[in-house]
Structure 1
Amino acid sequence: MAHTDHRLGAQVAQLARTWRAELDRRLNHLGLSQARWLVLLHLARQPDAPTQSELAAMVGVECPTLARLLDGLEAQQLVRRVTVAEDRRAKRVELLPQTGEIITRIEAIADQLRSEILANVDQQELEVFQRVLGQMQANLERR
């Protein structure tokens, strides 16, 4: 089945950019760049501390880029890198206890923005939209 609406990709990309930019603006007072709060959220959602290379893949950045981000987060005393006993070249990235409060604030601000964005969106339509996005992602990943 041929789809002729060429705007879809641009609309999805624009929504993602605008959403992330607004969240970044709302989190600015925490002294965290978009890249840094994204790293913190990825870490907070992991049951176990990932290695730097695992975290880089999750966040979608190269290892040297992540290393610079982690340097800054360590300077802010939000994370620490711990040597992996089985492979002394590898480092696991852990959130420090005091980071929990910042994560809670990030998530509260993100939840508020999500509520505003989804205001007046029918729940059933949202569920269909999420299924369609999931199928599109699966189609891309099969390539």
Structure 2
Amino acid sequence: MPAEQIAADLGALLLRGNRAHLYDRLTEGVVGVDSTTYPVLSGLARAGPATASRLADLIGLDRTVATRYATRLEQAGLVTRAADADDARATRLSLTPEGRQAVQTMRTALESILAEALSTSEPEEIETFARVLQRLLDALVPAPPGAPLRR
């Protein structure tokens, strides 16, 4: 049954070890980013400036872990902190220009990895896969208000 196969494949893709392997490939040669800090950097790129608490919720990490990884990214010059205008007790994390460049480098790497993985497929198959994947994402993960994490 196709739905069963898709469920199994998505489950395998989402396994922590498989994600870490992919993150290792994406971050290769990107100074200051590794498989553990990648979700924080990528999450900020998708969500925009956010507090550590909000970012942690969006990317599925504990707030203290997200804060620790953000500190590492800040030390690498990829993330900056500023007072949160909405909450004087919080700080807002943002990407620096170097952080945006790192994200762009990793997105380009992901596109190359996907192009290589799909290189034996026909262009029509790839276009159909992209459309179906988008519909699946729309059906399974409706975008929450104020959280443009899709792109």
- Change over 3 Å in CA distance of 1:87–1:15 after alignment to 2: closer
Contact 1:43 1:95 in 2 (8 A): yes
Do the aligned partners of residues 98 and 13 (structure 1) sit closer, same or farther apart at CA in structure 2, a change above 3 Å counting? same
* TM-score between both structures, scaled by the size of structure 2: 0.72
Instruction: Give percent identity, aligned residues only.
Output: 25
Query: What does 1:82-101 correspond to in 2, within 5 Å?
Result: 82-101=82-101
Q: 3-state SS of the aligned residue for 1:34? A: coil
Alignment of 1:35-50 (within 5 A): 35-46=36-47, 48-50=48-50
Assess if the C-alpha contact under 8 Å between 2:26 and 2:106 holds in 1.
no
Query: Equivalent residue of 2:61, what SS?
Result: coil
Which structure: larger Rg?
A: 1
TM-score (normalised: structure 1)? 0.75
Q: Gaps (5+ residues) in structure 2?
A: 143-151
Partners of 2:23 and 2:34 within 8 A in 1: no
Q: Give the whole-Å Cα distance in 2 for the aligned partners of 1:77 and 1:62.
A: 22
Distance in 1, Cα, partners of 2:133 & 2:104: 28
In structure 2, the residue matched to 1:141 is: none
Distance 1:8 1:61, change over 3 A: same
The list of structure 1 runs, each at least 4 consecutive aligned residues, that deviate by more than 6 angstroms after superposition, is: none
Alpha-carbon RMSD: 2.7
Q: Distance in 2 between matches of 1:10 and 1:84?
A: 41
Q: Give unmatched runs, 5+ long, in structure 1.
A: 139-143
- State the match for 1:21 in structure 2: 21
Equivalent residue number for residue 9 of structure 2: 11
Contact 2:45–2:95 under 8 Å retained in 1: yes
The letter of the residue matching 1:39 is: V
Tell me, in whole angstroms, the C-alpha distance in 1 between the residues paired with 2:128 and 2:60: 31
